[in-house]
Each structure stands twice: as structure tokens, then as C-alpha cells.
Amino acid sequence: AKLTNDPNNWIISDAGIFNTAPTVSTPIADVVVDENSGEYKIIVSPNFKDLETTSELLSYSVTEIDDQTLVIGLFKSDTLSLFPQQDQFGVANITVSASDREFSVADTFKVTVNEVLTVNPSNAFITTWTTTSTDET
């Protein structure tokens, strides 16, 4: 069978058009955030590629978070928004999938949420310094 590439990057052979699965071009980097730090965004399209579909047009989803009490993740287009949960710290593994609507590929990365120690003002050590001046003249 003869294989050729057309201008749309479809692989064409005598047997018809073939679709190839997306691949992970670069693994998603592990993330470290502080607890209660708010939303953290990751653009994942640079991490995936596909012969027939540009990485911006792949469909992305979170397929697993092994500790949802620690962090949740939501996609809008190719941007993953991570939300560390209030007063939680530890490590969670997140799996992201990229799909061309026929095939998909997944990548897992680690999110570490650091504990941030806070001092309750009612328990804080407070002192007042008083200085006095003595005139010895």
C-alpha cells in the first residue's frame, strides 16, 4: 500500500485515510503550590502532539485525581485550572488525557501542596517595650 501525506496532515494510503493517536511530546511538569494559594493554571497543549490535529484542537480532560480532598482540576480549552482545597496539604497525582475524538493518550503529573503555618493572633506572643529616659543633669 502506498502512503502519502496530504496538506491537512492526514495519512492516506490505497486502503483509505488513517488517523494516528496523539502522543505526549513533553511530560507535564510536576507542580508545587502553597496551601490556600488559589487557582493555578497550566496550558497543556505544548505537552501533546498529533499528526492530524493541532495540539490546540485536541480535546483535553482530567481523567483521574487520586486525592480530590487535596486538589481539584477543571479544563477550559487547553488550560487546566488547579484549585488546592482550603487548609489541605500533601501530594496528589493528576492524569490528563488528550483526545483527537478517536484515540487518546494520557500523562500523569504530581501536585505537591505545601503546608503554610499560620499563627492565630490570639495565640501570638505580644510584648510591649517601654523606654524611659532619665535626665541625670
CATH code (residue 52): 2.60.40.10
Residue 7 maps to a domain: no
- Residue 65 pairs with which residues in a beta bridge? 94
- Taking 50 as the threshold, does the pLDDT of residue 1 lie above it? no
Residue 27 maps to a domain: yes
C-alpha grid cell for residue 24? 505526549
pTM for the whole structure:
0.74
Residue 127 maps to a domain: no
pLDDT tier at 132, thresholds 50, 70, 90: low
Q: Please give the residue range of the domain that contains residue 48.
A: 20-117
pLDDT tier at 65, thresholds 50, 70, 90: very high
Structural domain count, the chain: 1
CA distance 84 to 44: 18
pLDDT at 57: 85
C-alpha grid cell for residue 12? 492516506
Query: β-strand 104-114 against 31-34: which pairing, if any?
Result: parallel
- The mean pLDDT of the chain is 86
pLDDT digits (tens, 9 = 90+) for 33-46: 999 999 999 999 99
CA distance 75 to 41: 10
CA distance 114 to 128: 33
Residue 28 maps to a domain: yes
